[in-house]
């Protein structure tokens, strides 16, 4: 039975490079874990986050992602076996230690990644366990595998923070390596079920700052009716060293973070259609 951590799961910050921590898990066990959700692969977790959902939160980062965003600051999370194998029971027990504090701080638990729905069975079980303990639950996802969650599973998630990367389909494909439609379909499904949603948008100068493109994203988001807020996240270079260490080609060398004016301009596009944007 593989039930880490061999190294500490708790990260000092989300930018720690972690690789090969699950390499020793036999392929058969990985397949069984993905099918059952009884075991998952985690990059790390942090406590005390105030930027991954409402209040103060415990955040667990999963490994595995099917996208290859040019601006990804955690490319070490792309590979499932870079994560530490942890049973859902152990992860839930660890989380349970914080439940009273999280409640007192109007916070909760956020499952992020990587892409958590790459391990949809683990994600569903861990979020349901958190919900059962009375902990507010959130997931940060690109939505591509949203159809892997049943309606009942969706109802155990108090907040979906959906990443919309850009609007134009060709640009989306170039930026992420995947089509945008499954993400939009997931957003429509969440809207139809009236599930609370935040939209997260990474603002990259020269890449995602086209105002027409932003206006189309904003119009879509406003029409959904369930978007409580939009977070415009300024691009940064904190993850660049990971691309170098992993021997990956990094396309955004030399791109600088957006100015405060540009970030405000982007927020205004969302505000213009009646959304709350930060």
Positions touching ligand SF4 (CB under 6 A) are 65, 67-69, 72, 74, 77, 113-115, 142
Nearest to ligand SF4 of 231, 268 (CB atom): 231
CB of 112 to ligand SF4, least distance (A): 9
CB 128 within 8 A of CB 157: no
Q: Nearest distance from residue 119's CB to ligand SF4, in Å? A: 13
| Tokens 């060398």 -> residue | 253
Nearest CA to 95 among 55, 64, 131, 149?
A: 131
Q: Which is nearer to ligand SF4, 68 or 100 (CB)?
A: 68
Report the DSSP pairing between strands 227-234 and 136-141: unpaired
Cα–Cα distance between 257 and 261 in angstroms, integer? 11
Our CB check for ligand SF4 shows the closer of 129 and 184 to be 184
| Cβ 250 to ligand SF4 shortest distance, Å | 13
Nearer to ligand SF4, 54 or 113 (CB): 113
Q: Which residues contact 263 (CB under 8 A, 6 or more apart)?
A: 203, 232, 234
Distances (CA, A) of 75 to 14, 116, 153, 218, 250: 12, 14, 28, 28, 11
Nearest distance from residue 72's CB to ligand SF4, in Å?
3
CA 226 to chain centre: 19
In the complex, least distance from residue 262 CB atom to ligand SF4, rounded to whole angstroms? 20
Please tell me the distance from the alpha carbon of residue 85 to that of residue 9, in angstroms, as a whole number. Answer: 10
Cβ nearer to ligand SF4, comparing 202 with 218: 202
- CB 211 → ligand SF4: shortest distance, Å? 22
CB-wise, 92 or 232, nearer to ligand SF4?
232
């Amino acid at each position: 039975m593989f039930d880490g951590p061999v190294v500490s799961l708790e990260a000092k910050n989300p930018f720690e490079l972690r690789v090969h921590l699950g390499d020793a898990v036999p392929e058969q066990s990985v397949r069984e874990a993905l099918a059952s959700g009884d075991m998952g692969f985690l990059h790390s977790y942090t406590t005390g986050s105030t930027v991954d959902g409402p209040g103060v939160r415990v955040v667990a980062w999963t490994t595995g992602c099917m996208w290859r965003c040019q601006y990804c600051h955690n490319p070490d999370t792309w590979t499932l076996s870079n994560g530490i194998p942890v049973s859902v029971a152990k992860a839930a027990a660890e989380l349970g230690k914080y439940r009273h504090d999280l409640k007192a701080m109007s916070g909760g638990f956020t499952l992020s990644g990587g892409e958590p729905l790459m391990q949809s069975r683990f994600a569903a079980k861990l979020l349901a366990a958190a919900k059962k303990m009375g902990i507010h639950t959130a997931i940060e996802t690109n939505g591509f595998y949203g159809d892997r969650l049943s309606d009942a599973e969706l109802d155990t998630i108090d907040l979906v923070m959906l990443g919309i990367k850009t609007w134009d389909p060709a640009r989306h494909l170039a930026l992420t390596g995947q089509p945008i439609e499954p993400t939009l379909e997931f957003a429509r499904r969440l809207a139809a079920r009236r599930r609370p949603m935040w939209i997260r948008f990474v603002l990259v100068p020269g890449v995602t700052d086209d105002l027409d493109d932003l206006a189309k994203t904003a119009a879509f988001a406003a029409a959904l009716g369930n978007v409580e807020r939009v977070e415009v996240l300024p691009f940064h270079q904190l993850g660049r060293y990971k691309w170098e260490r992993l021997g990956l080609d990094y396309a955004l060398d030399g791109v600088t973070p957006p100015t405060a004016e540009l970030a405000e301009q982007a927020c205004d596009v969302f505000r213009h259609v009646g959304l709350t944007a930060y």
